[in-house]
Amino acid sequence: MQNINKEEFKKSIEDYTKVLFRKSVSEASKQQLFQAVSYSVKDLIIDQWMATHREYEDKDVKTVYYLSMEFLMGRALGNNIINMKANNIIKEALDELGIDLNVIEDQEPDPALGNGGLGRLAACFLDSLSTLGYPAYGCGIRYKYGMFEQKIENGFQVEVPDNWLKDGNPFEMKRSDYAVEVKFGGYVRITKDNNGREKFVQENYQSVLAVPYDLPIVGYGNNVVNTLRIWDAEAIDNFNLDSFDKGDYQKAVEQQNLARTICEVLYPNDNHYAGKELRLKQQYFFVSASIQRAVIKYMEKHEDIHNIHEKVCFQLNDTHPTVTVAEFMRILMDDYDLSWDEAWSITTKTCAYTNHTIMSEALEKWPLELFSRLLPRIYQIVEEINRRFIIEIQAKYPNDYKKIEKMAIVYDGQVKMAHLAIVASFSVNGVARLHTEILKNQQLKEFYQMMPEKFNSKTNGITQRRFLLHGNPLLADWVTTKIGDDWITNLQHISELKVYADDLRCQKEFMQIKYQNKVRLAAYIKEHNGIEVDPRSIFDIQVKRLHEYKRQLLNILHVMHLYNQLKKNPEMEFYPRTFIFGAKASAGYRRAKAIIKLINSVGDVVNNDKSIQNKLKVVFIENYRVSNAEMIFAAADVSEQISTASKEASGTGNMKFMLNGALTLGTMDGANVEIVEEVGEENAFIFGLTSDEVIKYEQEGGYNPKDIYNIDQDIRTVITQLVNGYYSPENPELFREIYNSLLDSNGGERADQYFILKDFRSYEAAQKRVEEAYKDQARWAKSAILNVASSGKFTSDRTIEEYAKEIWHLDKVKVELE
Ligand code: 26Q
């Protein structure tokens, strides 16, 4: 590790406030101090960053390029300081300057270049890659506006643009010398080269300049700094806007507009495909730039392109970067004169694909018309991949046209990106064991039967450095006092805590820490929501993107039911409970937004009803994001993971809650299955249909929720309250759509397609078990400690080791500082 000199660091901060803002430390604003501190930290990172890349070049290492439309990084300053193990010294330095590090950290905008799970997973992976010493680039887009900021107005979600770059980003580094051109549209002219071979030339295209910005990814205490490279688009400036030639002028303006729009904004869709032209432009833009650079970099060190797969791997984060396949083929054939077979052989040894969802509405299928117009050369290559693949299908399954219908890449006027990704990749993985099994046996079964060797499972993980060490310092210190600090890089060892689970004093200490974290969250809620919550009540939390399959609706319907019971019988046994929600809904997802309004409406009624003596509170935390998530996980007693079984590929919030000692209340879905396997069913609350049962119902065309509605009086009461103005007297029709979705089928959509009424009573029973368990504080504490102690499997360090060994075949490096 590098030695940090406190006096020099203080001087650096003083210098930066001067140079950047012409101010002394005492005159500078908090935001200016954040900038000065961040630049000073970046200075400390630079030598490690350079040393890492020198080592990579010297050893000519194999590198993974993690291609992702999303990187949900969260704030960098605090994380960088922690990973440099510079927390204490920097705190001291700032103290001496009269600056509070927490206040400074709070000035940083939360870089939100992602929607939810998939983007945050990419961020955790980068942290682990650096910490483990694996050579890697994250490749993505430098959106000018990230995930919108959510405001709640009168209970409704309102989206506010997230101008995260307005004060500049002190950690980024523009690399203009690495800019490349990316071409769109036009047509392909076929000519012959000197040897009579066909050459494909794209003509009359529009292009933009892709300019990379690099962000350092600091490994924990090991001098390794990898790079997150995010691309911005600039106008190509070789066109003369003063030109009198009308055609040129028009084209120059169009190119400028293209450059302005491509990186403007992140699509706020989560698990939902929208066939927008700009989205495809974004995909090709960052993919083409990343692949071009990867090839140039390789060729700087090697004579011949034929062995590039020995040094380079492209990991596709879902289908969003799948044009990688065709772009790489294009470069190999058109720029390096390889034959189809040579190019195909290399491509299929370089690309690997991760599937993150089985939700059919998330599958990317691009209309041929759009795809071929925007990417004419890429489209030709996709057609040829498809043609050859269909010949393979026919050879293997003669006369079986069903197979072609199910597996073709180009079919029904669409390009099916998942099929392209599978056919061109040497590895196809799911993100939890159950998810991978569903892929193999249901959703991708034809592909699995034809190429079983490609399929593998990599259960997701999370970084304990952000979600325990940084987010929950009290618990982190407690763990370290008990078992030492090895868990920070070897989470498996956290199982050593198990011996303390039965120890009364340890249980008390643990519950005391949980209580303090609940006090911290209660203060945040008081400040942001104006709601008073009791930190002694059970904190029951569901935070994640709002989606019907995640069933926030089941949760709030159950709250409505509890409230009805309390009203009927105010003296009933009832342990005080605070139900906490946090969720952004995609801007165009009407039903999801109605559910947010419902949660807030129920909160308004319940929280202001004196007759229930504060036993029940409902809080909706505005603008849920990485920075407040860290605090929320730390304060949770109950972790709500209640998706319809088979729908949640993995979930990663479930792991963050577990690491912070919350007990899972969940269905047997995604990684919940493996969580329960690790911690034991007696330390979790499992309910609901199994994925097999759900899949069986679906194959039979669903079930009839009216049977439940007719028989079950309590459920009927709750459902009726959706439309009788009980929670929306000003507009009783507000929740009509939700009501209808639970009882009636609609077009292709089944009634209650996510089995909310079907699982309601089972959920209620599990909630009763939660209450009983919590009353026995010793038993609860034991279970909570066992959750922390059993979370070792769910570190992203383990996940990345598996990817590195089984898919990427990377070697670790050691970086020494001179
Ligand atoms: C697709 C096309 C057009 C616009 C947007 C999209 C789009 C964007 C984001 C489609 C899907 C996503 C995000 C998916 C996602 O976050 N999936 C989650 O991935 C996690 C990490 O593997 C899992 O833990 C979750 O279970 C899964 O839902």
> Please, is 591 exposed, middle or buried when counting C-beta atoms within 10 Å of its C-beta (0-12, 13-18, 19+)?
middle
Confidence of residue 1 (pLDDT cuts 50, 70, 90): low
pLDDT digits (tens, 9 = 90+) for 450-470: 999 999 999 999 999 999 999
Q: Considering the candidates 324, 459, 652, 795, report the single residue annotated as catalytic.
A: 652
Q: Which secondary-structure segment (H or E) carries 215?
A: strand 206-218
Q: How far does the centroid of ligand 1 lie from the alpha carbon of residue 661, in Å?
A: 26
- Mean of pLDDT values over 229-238: 92
> Please, is 569 exposed, middle or buried when counting C-beta atoms within 10 Å of its C-beta (0-12, 13-18, 19+)?
exposed
The answer to whether residues 471 and 494 belong to one domain is yes
15 is a domain residue: yes
706 is a domain residue: no
pLDDT digits (tens, 9 = 90+) for 722-766: 999 999 999 999 999 999 999 999 999 999 999 999 999 999 999
pLDDT digits (tens, 9 = 90+) for 340-363: 999 999 999 999 999 999 999 999
738 is a domain residue: no
Q: Which domain holds residue 190?
A: 61-72+112-425
From 121, 125, 279, 318, mutation site for ligand 1 pocket: most ligand atoms within 8 A of C-beta = 318
What count of other Cβ atoms lies within 10 Å of the Cβ of residue 109?
18
Strand 225-235 versus strand 136-141 pairing type: parallel
User: Looking at the predicted structure, is the pLDDT value of residue 246 above 80?
Assistant: no
721 is a domain residue: no
Ligand 1-lining residues (CB < 6 angstroms): 115-118, 121, 267, 269-271, 273-274, 279, 356-357, 362, 364, 431, 460, 648-652, 670
State the Cα–Cα distance between residues 463 and 467, nearest whole angstrom. Answer: 6
Q: Contact 9/93 with Cβ under 8 angstroms?
A: yes
Q: Considering the candidates 42, 144, 309, 356, report the single residue annotated as catalytic.
A: 356
Q: Look up 550 and say whether it is catalytic.
A: yes
- Mean of pLDDT values over 146-164: 98
Q: What pLDDT does 462 receive?
A: 99
pLDDT digits (tens, 9 = 90+) for 217-231: 999 999 999 999 999
The answer to whether residues 23 and 67 belong to one domain is no
Q: Look up 656 and say whether it is catalytic.
A: yes
| Strand, helix or coil for residue 804 | helix
Domain count, the chain: 3
Number of H helices, E strands in the chain: 31, 23
Q: What pLDDT does 149 receive?
A: 98
The answer to whether residues 150 and 13 belong to one domain is no
Range from 166-175, 252-261, 473-482 carrying the lowest mean pLDDT:
252-261
State the Cα–Cα distance between residues 677 and 662, nearest whole angstrom. Answer: 16
The answer to whether residues 515 and 413 belong to one domain is no
* Partners of 579 in beta bridges: 540, 618
User: Looking at the predicted structure, is the pLDDT value of residue 645 above 70?
Assistant: yes
Own/partner long-range contacts of 15-24 (Cβ < 8 Å, ≥24 apart): 16/40
Q: What pLDDT does 636 receive?
A: 99
Q: What pLDDT does 3 receive?
A: 85
The answer to whether residues 478 and 397 belong to one domain is no
Q: Considering the candidates 365, 440, 617, 656, report the single residue annotated as catalytic.
A: 656
User: Nearest 5°: phi and psi at 170?
Assistant: -60, -25
- Mean of pLDDT values over 152-178: 98
From 356, 360, 800, mutation site for ligand 1 pocket: most ligand atoms within 8 A of C-beta = 356
The answer to whether residues 98 and 125 belong to one domain is no
Give the end of a domain, one of 371, 398, 425.
Answer: 425
130 is a domain residue: yes
- Mean of pLDDT values over 703-721: 98
The answer to whether residues 603 and 652 belong to one domain is yes
pLDDT digits (tens, 9 = 90+) for 567-589: 999 999 999 999 999 999 999 99
Q: Which atom of ligand 1 is nearest to the CA of 276?
A: 3
SS3 letters across 362-411: HCCEEEHHHHHHHCHHHHHHHHHHHHHHHHHHHHHCCCCHHHHHHHCCEE
pLDDT digits (tens, 9 = 90+) for 257-269: 999 999 999 999 9
Q: Contact 638/615 with Cβ under 8 angstroms?
A: no
Strand 206-218 versus strand 173-174 pairing type: antiparallel
743 is a domain residue: no
Range from 25-34, 196-205, 645-654 carrying the lowest mean pLDDT:
196-205
From 68, 118, 460, 669, mutation site for ligand 1 pocket: most ligand atoms within 8 A of C-beta = 118
User: Looking at the predicted structure, is the pLDDT value of residue 240 above 60?
Assistant: no
Among 274, 465, 237, CA closest to 361: 274
The answer to whether residues 316 and 395 belong to one domain is yes
Strand 136-141 versus strand 156-160 pairing type: unpaired
The answer to whether residues 522 and 659 belong to one domain is yes
Q: For a pLDDT cut of 90, what percent of the chain falls above it?
A: 96
Strand 616-620 versus strand 638-641 pairing type: unpaired
pLDDT digits (tens, 9 = 90+) for 469-491: 999 999 999 999 999 999 999 99
Task: ipTM value, please give it.
Answer: 0.99
Q: What pLDDT does 252 receive?
A: 85
Give the end of a domain, one of 425, 448, 478.
Answer: 425
Q: Considering the candidates 545, 584, 647, 750, report the single residue annotated as catalytic.
A: 545
User: Nearest 5°: phi and psi at 436?
Assistant: -65, -40
- Mean of pLDDT values over 157-169: 98
- Percentages helix, strand, coil for the chain (3-state, rounded to 5) are 55, 15, 30
611 is a domain residue: yes
Among 732, 730, 531, CA closest to 614: 531
Q: Which atom of ligand 1 is nearest to the CA of 121?
A: 21
Mean pLDDT of the chain: 97
Q: Which atom of ligand 1 is nearest to the CA of 116?
A: 16
- Ordered strands of the 538-543 beta sheet: 616-620, 577-582, 538-543, 638-641, 663-666, 685-686
The answer to whether residues 119 and 100 belong to one domain is no
Concatenating the DSSP letter of every residue in 326-339 gives: HHHHHIIIIIT---
The answer to whether residues 363 and 468 belong to one domain is no
Confidence of residue 818 (pLDDT cuts 50, 70, 90): confident
Range from 22-36, 251-265, 400-414 carrying the lowest mean pLDDT:
251-265
User: Looking at the predicted structure, is the pLDDT value of residue 184 above 80?
Assistant: yes
Confidence of residue 242 (pLDDT cuts 50, 70, 90): low
Q: How far does the centroid of ligand 1 lie from the alpha carbon of residue 273, in Å?
A: 9
- Mean of pLDDT values over 670-697: 98
Q: Look up 706 and say whether it is catalytic.
A: no
Give the end of a domain, one of 410, 425, 440.
Answer: 425
Q: What pLDDT does 238 receive?
A: 63
Q: What pLDDT does 470 receive?
A: 98
SS3 letters across 482-540: HHCCHHHCCHHHHHHHHHHCCCHHHHHHHHHHHHHHHHHHHHHHHHHHCCCCCCCCEEE
| Strand, helix or coil for residue 436 | helix
Q: Look up 652 and say whether it is catalytic.
A: yes
Q: What pLDDT does 243 receive?
A: 55
The answer to whether residues 96 and 139 belong to one domain is no
Two structure tokens written together for 205:
């295209």
Concatenating the DSSP letter of every residue in 126-187 gives: HHHHHHHT--EEEEEE--SB-SPEEEEETTEEEEE---TTTT--TT-EE-GGG-EEEEESSE
555 is a domain residue: yes
